[in-house]
Amino acid sequence: MPSDAGRSVIVRFCRPAVIVGVLSLAAVIGVYWYMALRPGTNPALVPSPPAILKALRDEIATGDLLVNTVASLKRVVIGFCIGASLALVLGALAGWFRYAGYVLNPIIDALRPIPALAYIPLVIVWVGIGEPSRIIIIVLAVFKPCVVNARAGMNEVAQIYVDAARTLGASRWRVFATVALPSAVPYFIAGLRTGVSTGFLALVAAELIAAPSGLGFMIQNAGQYFRTDVTIVGIIVIGLLGALLDQVASRAGRALTSWSDVRREP
């Protein structure tokens, strides 16, 4: 019923979490606004919220924002798909089959403590500063958390399900495909979610270094011309996009693990 639905929306937005959350954000903006308006502050360096909104409108109007956002999204999606699929395949094999583990574990564990950004100089020297090097950096950044989580998930498969499948006549391969993989899905999702955010982080870093487009390029470029308002617009869009990607990953994950009775985060 519409009236019921209306009420439930009101109830949802009257929760303490929402009210306090909005107030908390408003306070941060308020403090910033106050600082921006203080006499002696250079409005070019510390633009007021209305000035930032105007910059946002301008960036939308010229189409720059869209072009840069699309460029970044494309890189992160390509990098994520390559990095995540490699990581899931290798992590699942390493975590399940003993000899695959012997081969892959040393490599995974050696890569583990190295931040993906540390590869940037090497990638630039080897691959140059074109589009491939930016994608490679994202792939590396996505790969690490995904592979570690995938392997952990396969190590944690409950023996009881494996035994049950075996007594029902499942082959080794069928146990892998129908027991180990599905029961590790919650771990895969956790890895993918971390991968989305680390990939996004690496994206901005990669774009800060000589990119012709992208949100990283946009904020770097604006910074060089003291267009602080545009930089702030870029930062906000990066934040929103990151949150959006995380939501997509988390919703996809929830759909895939609807069978699980593990408590979900609110």
Window 104-143: contact mask with other proteins (x via CB under 8 A): ----------------------------------------
Select 3 or 167, whichever has its Cβ closest to other proteins. 167
Select 199 or 253, whichever has its Cβ closest to other proteins. 253
Residue 160 binds to other proteins (criterion: CB under 8 A): yes
- Tell me how far apart the terminal alpha carbons of the chain are, to the nearest angstrom: 25
Select 89 or 164, whichever has its Cβ closest to other proteins. 164
Judging by beta carbons within 10 Å of its beta carbon (0-12, 13-18, 19+), is residue 97 exposed, middle or buried? middle
Judging by beta carbons within 10 Å of its beta carbon (0-12, 13-18, 19+), is residue 55 exposed, middle or buried? buried
Q: How far is the CB of 155 from other proteins (least distance, A)?
A: 18
Residue 255 binds to other proteins (criterion: CB under 8 A): no
Residue 99 binds to other proteins (criterion: CB under 8 A): no
| DSSP for 152-218, written as a single string | HHHHT--HHHHHHHHHTT--HHHHIIIIIHHHHHHHHHHHHHHHHHHHHHHHHHHHHTT-SSSHHHH
Interface with other proteins (CB under 8 A), residue total: 21
Element (H, E) at 42: none
Select 61 or 160, whichever has its Cβ closest to other proteins. 160
Query: What are the residues whose beta carbons fall under 8 Å from the beta carbon of 73, sequence distance 6 or more?
Result: 241
Q: Where in 182-221 is the site for other proteins (CB under 8 A)?
A: 182-183, 185
Q: Which stretch binds other proteins (CB under 8 A): 18-26, 51-59, 168-176, 227-235?
A: 168-176
What residues line the site for other proteins (CB under 8 A)?
160-161, 163-171, 174, 178-179, 182-183, 185, 258-261
